[in-house]
Amino acid sequence: MNDTIIRNIGALILPKKSDRPLKGKEMDELEIIEGAMIVIKDGQVVYRGAATDEYEASEELDASGMIASPALVDPHTHVVHGGSREHEMSLKRQGVDYLTILEQGGGILNTVEQTRKATHQQLVDKASKSITRMIQHGVLAVESKSGYGLDRENELKQLKVSREISEKFPVTMRHTFLGPHAIPKGADGDAFLDDMINLLEEAKDYADFADIFCETGVFTIEQSRKYMEAANALGMRVKIHADEIDPLGGLELAIEQNAISADHLVAASEAGKKMLADTDTVAVLLPGTTFYLGKDQFADARGMIENGGAISLATDYNPGSCVTDNLQMIMAIASLKLKMTPNEIWNAVTVNAAHAIDVDKGTLEAGDQADIVLWDAPNHEYIPYHYGVNHAHTVIARGQVIYR
């Protein structure tokens, strides 16, 4: 039982399964089968390809007029947090920039206050709304960071909420400890960093990765190296918010520390971009953040791809620098502002995003979990083109229709 055949798929989008992220020119390769079908048995893909009469199933889905793809993967989010910061919009209109708001005790530190005040259940309820929206937009694998607690109790609270969310929804999640996300008001940066390093051992029971915000006025390269070395020594793969605003050399540090991903990279150096060819560290670009911060300079996706690097895309969904949980919107911004091709974009939100968070997702080969989206679109170029709305028509998680 539980067998389903999806018939009459206008075009089936098939990112290539690979044991490492797709790099450079490979990112522009995407198999597309027209007039396709998918057979699902016990939650797994049994067959995908040209229509055939070889299979029977108890249920059938008609995908006429639609295209299909693996469900999307969002590899960088701050989905668990308390409150919101709509009041910052008026500061932005007055030209006060992101780091100045943070310096004045707002920004991340404002969300820290709201997250500390929130109960576990309030955080679960709020994150559940976002995860539901992500599912409805075709995302079935999500990375979720802490970083709004900045102390033992509240960082662990966020990670436990994240874990509860992953049990509550048929979404594959990875959890990231981002204790060094900001320096608490009145604290000394070095002493606080040591506290977060001491917390790694406990956080490791709840988190898959360790992340740090390496930026002017937050944590330096030296501090970030110390933290990443400590996490690596505990066997935790590392991530880093790197070179978002100032070119500090975060990308080079990420590669040196064998990070699973280096994220943001708007101001990454030419030397760092060249190093991408010889590493499996994925460059996770967050163009929605650049857009939302009102900046003109976007990450150099073209340069990174031409240098042979692996790129992924994520929402960075958070209450301050990118307030959207719609990854399709990011696909459009990547097309317009990062000049990525449709094939590169699809690989960036599926197979490469999966590599950036170490989940076996983003492809549809026989034996893969059947996480599939049917899109109300005529072809795969259409989704980055028609922006700001939801094109996901039917979302199938582990073989079951969960949104239609």
Q: What does the binding site for ligand NIG look like in residue numbers (CB under 6 A)?
A: 78, 107-108, 111, 213, 241, 244, 289, 316, 318-321
> Minimal CA–CA distance to 298: which of 316, 284, 286, 313?
286
Compute and round to an integer the Cα radius of gyration of the chain: 21
How far apart CA 213 and CA 254 sit, in angstroms, is 12
Going 275 to 31 to 360 to 77, the CA torsion angle's sign is positive
- Indicate the residue among 281 and 363 with the shorter CB distance to Fe ion: 281
316 binds Fe ion (CB under 5 A): yes
Containing 328, the helix (H) or strand (E) segment is helix 327-337
| Binding partner of 237, given ligand NIG, Fe ion, none, CB within 5-8 angstroms per partner class | none
Chosen from ligand NIG, Fe ion, none, partner binding at 107 (C-beta under 5 to 8 Å by type): ligand NIG
Q: How many CB atoms lie within 10 A of CB 87?
A: 9
Q: Which residue is nearest to ligand NIG (CB)?
A: 320
Nearest residue (CB) to ligand NIG, 263 versus 371: 263
- Residue 74 as a binder of Fe ion (CB under 5 A): the answer is no
108 binds, among Fe ion, ligand NIG, none (CB under 5 to 8 A by kind): ligand NIG
Residue 77 contact, options Fe ion, ligand NIG, none, Cβ 5-8 Å cut-off depending on partner type: none
Q: How far apart are CA 269 and CA 158, in angstroms?
A: 33
Site residues for Fe ion, window 283-302 (CB under 5 A)? none
* 343 marked ligand binding residue: no
**Residue appearing with tokens 């259940």:** 121
Residues contacting 144, CB < 8 A, separation 6+: 77, 78, 79, 80, 127, 162, 165, 166, 173, 174, 175, 176
Instruction: State yes or no: 241 annotated in a binding site.
Output: yes
Q: How far is the CB of 369 from ligand NIG (least distance, A)?
A: 28
**Closer by beta carbon to ligand NIG, 111 or else 307:** 111
Question: Is the sign of the CA dihedral 133, 76, 393, 55 positive or negative?
Answer: negative
Question: Which positions make up the binding site for Zn(2+)?
Answer: 76, 78, 241, 316
Question: Which positions make up the binding site for Fe(3+)?
Answer: 76, 78, 241, 316
Note the residues at the interface with Fe ion (CB under 5 A). 316
